Structure 1
Amino acid sequence: MDSQWRKSSRSGSNGACVEARHVQPAVEVRDSKDADGPILRFSGDAWSTFVTGLKR
């Protein structure tokens, strides 16, 4: 992941999506419908743990 915002390829067309981007050393997440709204920031370790949990 780079500094561009990206949506999951599995996102539907209903607009209820989140976007993520990698900003060293963190990962940022936002609501795709509110690009100027709040951004959540997670450490790389926390993001990896989250993604691993999703894959289970």
Structure 2
Amino acid sequence: MSTTPLAWFKSSYSSGDGDSCVEVAACPSTVHVRDSKLDESPQLALAPAAWTHFLGYAAQG
């Protein structure tokens, strides 16, 4: 298991005032997603194909 910290990026769709912040950290085999408002936020770990499918579905929204 890697001990390298994840590089988190805030979604461009997150609001500027901090009330709806989603962050993503992409690795070669996993895309991590979390809510940035919580100190110890639970994380989703998705396969890259699942993340791509989610983004395509969300864009149809």
- TM-score exceeds 0.5: yes
Query: Which ranges of structure 1 fall in alignment gaps of 5 or more residues?
Result: none
Partner in structure 2 of residue 31 of structure 1: 35
Partner in structure 1 of residue 3 of structure 2: none
Q: Which has the higher strand share?
A: 1
TM-score (norm 2): 0.74
- CA RMSD in angstroms comes to 1.5
> Identity over aligned residues, as a percent?
35
Matches of 1:10 and 1:16, distance apart in 2: 9
Instruction: Please report how far the alpha carbon of residue 10 of structure 1 lies from its aligned counterpart in structure 2 after TM superposition.
Output: 2.5
1:54 correspondence with 2:38: no
Between the two proteins, the alignment pairs up a number of residues equal to: 54
Call closer, same or farther: CA 1:23–1:35 in 2, change over 3 Å. farther
Q: Which amino acid aligns with 1:16?
A: S
Matches of 1:23 and 1:46, distance apart in 2: 14
Greater gyration radius: 2
Matches of 1:33 and 1:48, distance apart in 2: 24
TM-score (norm 1): 0.79
Partner in structure 1 of residue 11 of structure 2: 8
Query: Which ranges of structure 2 fall in alignment gaps of 5 or more residues?
Result: 1-5
